[in-house]
Structure 1
Amino acid sequence: MNLPTINAPNRTRSHGRAASGDERRRVAVPRRSTKGPLDSDVDDPLAGSTSQSAASSPPRRVLSPAPLNTAATSPLSPDSGTSPIPDLPSKDFSYLLEPSAYHALPSTNIPQPFLNSPALPSLAGPLPDLLKTGHYRLAAISAARGLSTSVSPSDAPAIFELLHIRLACLCLLNEHAMAAQEAKLLGDLSSAFYRHPLTGAHLVPWELRVLSVRLAALGYGEWRKGIMGYYELAREARENVVKTETHAEKKLWKSRLRECGIRVANVLVEMGELEGAGRHLGTLSSAEGDSQDSREVLVMEALVWLRVGDLRASRRCVLAAAALPSSENESTSTLDSKVEGTLNALLRIAEGDYNAAVEAWTELHSMHQDDAMITQNLAVSLLYTGKISEARSLLTDLAGTTAPFHALTFNLCTVYELCTERSRDRKIALAERIAAREPSEVGWEMAAADFKL
């Protein structure tokens, strides 16, 4: 929890004959009664578990010709549970390998301790090692170099893998605008060009398609474009749930359909449509399915209503999540109790009862001392009650024992600003300590904004 930082269209009058593209010339056609891609079903597609593997999909008929900017084939992952796609004749993907298509990453927003750290590896190191140690900026640079220098224009699997790494690393570095610009290289992924001519399977890995939907919405400044993109993916997932025969494939596509529904809610939150996001999550949590999946959606819905300020709706979601049958797995039950306690503590903060919030976080901290989220929320609650020294001690110890994250460094630097006039020196010293630590896969390099520099 961070410290609080908390068009109608122009109508013009025209005379004369209206152009054929004029929106006024469009005539509404009665729509056939169909079931939406996110609607519940007898065989509920929202009840699966999350999976990240790729799978084949059915052919779809496209009336428009293939776009100029298109991508090509990609083999299925070994764990997808589906048959491999037959080989295609070699295609030229050189338009994805142009060096000018990939931007240079700026280093001006990186504190000097990270640029001069002895823990900084060589750019020539293996790309998997860069990803494993959380050096996402170097991994993004390495992926772009691989695309422009060492990949054959006909090697579709390698091209799509490197492009996915490049775009994902840019997002992890908060360079979303740059990632959105580079994602435009893919063009229209719903084109028939991206389908296998024999099997109809999509040639681009599922994970890259999901990422490109959000980046397309960012790149064109149209959040509704992202929502429609997720609904298109959900339609395909629903079709595959019906057509696939093995249990593993059904479970895979059900989890993908559920993922699309959650991502629609995420887009609504980014649009500022919090109430719409809450109502949408309510439709997902009410669908019949696995109790653990329903509990996760209810937790998301509770957090959304907390942001709206509707404490009654948030409490209703917390109670509904607690009423669901618990898992027989002991670790899962412990996790559920921690999540329920966390939501109750957040409700105390939303009510403005910071003393009660401190008691709730303290009780959780005594049971889960290694949980960084609980510790930093306890520190922030102590700060609200005027106990700055205790809050500073908790945050300082946490920065020395856990992998750093934005909320931790931001809140600790805020405490420095409240405690001393030489806060900049303290912030730089904190950046030096974190840069000297052993890298981890959660991300090593941090931006100057994380330290309020």
Structure 2
Amino acid sequence: MYGPPLVEAATNPLAAAQVEPASPSPSAANESRPFRSARPASVDRPKSNVDLRFLQNPRIYYSLPTEDAAPPSLGSGQQPSPDTPLPDLLRSSHFGRAAETAARDLLRCSPSDAEPIFQLLYTRLACLVLVSRPDLAVQEAAPLMDLLARNMPSSAGIVAHVPWELRLLLVRLQSLSTEDGGRRGVMALYVLAGGARAHLRQTHKDEDEREHALWSERLRDLGLRVADALVEMGELETAERHLDSLTDVDLDEVTYRKAMLRIYVGDIFGAEHYLDKLGSGNKKATLEILLKMADGQDATSSWQDLLKHHPDDDTMANNLAVSSLYAGNIMDARRILEQTLSRSPASASILFNINTIYELCSGRGLDHKIDVATTRRHEEG
């Protein structure tokens, strides 16, 4: 269960933020990340001719629940202070607190200040996804998704200000919010591709090489995203045919993805067919090892050799741990994952694997899991 909409000013910082002046963040000016805190309304800068008050209704934004949070997260003494700037929260991976701060800062913006409002909305929605609350992100994105879906001429000015990253995130959330098997999400990607092609034609007329390169790369990325969406839908043959149609995408990237599709459906011989088509590099080396694993062979030494050239690659370390587990060396797998956790932020797959190994190693799996959560929280603080 999630909390009620944030509307009570007496107890809710988001509601109170509507009447409190925004304070500048001392570190925001030097922040190089794509997310930035909203700047105070008193700063003299051009305003866009749009009205975004429909995104500043406090009832849109929900308070994050805490009943399902791990005890180490709630009881940690390393929690950031309430006035921690948004860039610092993102840098330290305090995504729950960052989501709250982004919503508060969004409500402080001038309704015509499109750039920070959309940046903060993107940050809010992305953080909700990162803390495993895409359901809340879908609900909070609904007003903007409805506006884009209606495609009214009167909203063209607003649509023009929506950043590309936010458009992509909205498409992803749209896929999660419907029960059509992902088809609407694929259609939305094609709509974005149509817009990208229109921009490409315009940049060609304007002879703007920089913008042409930008929109060309976005169009290639959309092609790969469609393939990913088709795989999620279970349309594997359609995904492979779609990859064949991507003539502007790096050939090795397409070949590698097609090989992975073959492995996914258990067609090892079909995947091997693509090995000779790959150029030398990590993709070919990785595919060779994955094929060895798929054939039931011990790939531990192969991953170790590859890791010597890429010692900081967490994905390779994770694969080495899985290979060690398959080979019956569970303590080696545990050691590899613990070393990986100690040097870098954890991915979901690494956390899942280490917790699975803790369950297999002893009856104190829960204690080990709490230790991991406590350690991660202290490091983030």
1:195 to 134, 147, 156: 156
- The equivalent of 2:335 in structure 1 is 393
The residue type paired with residue 166 of structure 1 is: R
Amino acid at match of 1:103: Y
Which amino acid is the alignment partner of residue 252 of structure 1?
L
Match for 2:154: what amino acid? Answer: F
Task: Output the CA distance in 2 between the equivalents of 1:310 and 1:262.
Answer: 22
SS at match of 1:437: helix
Report 1:337-356 matches (<5 A).
337-353=281-297, 355=298
Q: Could you tell me which residue of structure 1 aligns to residue 259 of structure 2?
A: 302
1:263-302 equivalence runs, <5 A = 263-284=225-246, 287-288=247-248, 293-302=250-259
Contact map agreement 1:282 1:298 (CA 8 A) in 2: no
What is the TM-score when the length of structure 2 is the normalising length?
0.80
Structure 1: tracts of 5 or more residues without a match: 1-51, 54-85, 323-335, 440-453
| 1:66-105 matches, cutoff 5 A | 89=49, 91-105=50-64
Task: Name the aligned partner's letter for residue 142 of structure 1.
Answer: T
Match of 1:44 in 2: none
Evaluate the alpha carbon distance shift between residue 313 and residue 194 of structure 1 in structure 2; reply closer, same or farther with a 3 A threshold.
farther
Q: Deviations over 1:119-142 (max 9, x none)?
A: 321232111221222221111111
Distance 1:202-1:283 versus aligned 2 partners, 3 A rule: same
Shift of 1:87: 6.7
In the alignment, is residue 125 of structure 1 matched against residue 69 of structure 2?
no
Deviation at 1:252, TM superposition (A): 0.8
Contact 1:130 1:139 in 2 (8 A): yes
Aligned mate of 1:248, from 210, 222, 225: 210
1:191 aligned partner, one-letter code: M
> Aligned letter for 2:81?
S
Partner residue of 1:376?
Answer: 318
TM-aligned CA distance change 1:87 to 1:101, over 3 Å: closer
TM-score computed with the length of structure 1 as normaliser? 0.68
* Separation (CA, whole Å) in 1 of partners of 2:296 and 2:103: 48
Map 1:7-406 → 2, pairs under 5 A: 89=49, 91-148=50-107, 150-186=108-144, 187-189=146-148, 190-196=151-157, 202-222=160-180, 223-244=182-203, 245-284=207-246, 287-288=247-248, 293-322=250-279, 337-353=281-297, 355=298, 357-406=299-348
Kindly tell me: are residues 172 and 104 of structure 1, through their superposed partners in 2, closer, same or farther at Cα, counting changes over 3 Å?
same
Cα deviation digits, residues 24-55 of structure 1 (max 9, x gap): xxxxxxxxxxxxxxxxxxxxxxxxxxxx99xx
Q: Quote the offset at 1:344 in angstroms.
A: 1.2
Q: Bigger relative contact order, structure 1 or 2, given CA contacts below 8 A and separation 6+?
A: 1
When residues 166 and 227 of structure 1 are mapped into structure 2, their CA distance, relative to the original with a 3 A threshold, is same
Change (3 A) 1:220 1:123: farther
The residue type equivalent to 1:368 in the other structure is H
| Equivalent residues of 2:220, 2:248 under 8 A apart | no
Looking at structure 2, the residues matched to 423 and 295 of structure 1 have their Cα atoms a distance apart, in angstroms, of 41
The separation in 2 between residues aligned to 1:122 and 1:317, in whole angstroms, is: 53
For 1:153 and 1:137, locate their aligned partners in 2 and report how far apart those are by CA, in whole Å. Answer: 25
Residue 175 of structure 1: CA displacement? 1.7
User: Aligned in 2, Cα 1:363/1:347: closer, same or farther, shift over 3 Å?
Assistant: same
Go from structure 1 to structure 2 and tell me whether the alpha carbon gap of 1:161 and 1:276 turns closer, same or farther (over 3 Å shift): same
CA contact (8 A) 2:47 2:112 kept: no
* Structure in which a larger fraction of residues adopt helix: 2
- Residue of structure 2 equivalent to 1:429: 371
Instruction: Give the superposition deviation at 1:438.
Output: 4.4
Greater CA drift, 413-422 or 309-318? 309-318
- Choose 1 or 2 for highest CA Rg: 1
Aligned mates of 2:143, 2:256 — CA distance in 1:
37
Query: Compared with structure 1, are the counterparts of its residues 238 and 438 closer, same or farther at alpha carbon in structure 2 (3 Å cutoff)?
Result: same
Q: CA offset at residue 288 of structure 1?
A: 4.7
Distance 1:393 1:288, change over 3 A: closer
- How far the C-alpha of 1:251 sits from its partner, in A, is 0.5
- 3-state DSSP of counterpart to 2:273: helix
Contact 1:275 1:305 in 2 (8 A): no
Distance in 1, Cα, partners of 2:248 & 2:114: 39
Residues 275 and 308, structure 1, Cα contact 8 Å, conserved in 2: no
Give the equivalent residue in structure 1 for 2:42.
none
Instruction: Tell me how far apart the structure 2 counterparts of residues 87 and 104 of structure 1 sit (CA, whole Å).
Output: 30
Alpha-carbon separation, structure 2, partners of 1:142 and 1:369: 36
AA at the equivalent of 1:146 = D
Identity rate, percent: 40
Amino acid corresponding to residue 349 of structure 1 in structure 2: M
2:78 partner SS:
coil
Summarize the Cα distance change of 1:302–1:151 in structure 2 as closer, same or farther, 3 Å threshold: same
Q: CA deviation at 1:255?
A: 0.8
Tell me: CA distance 1:388–1:88, structure 2 relative to 1, closer, same or farther (3 Å). Answer: closer
In structure 2, runs of 5+ residues without a counterpart are 1-32, 35-45
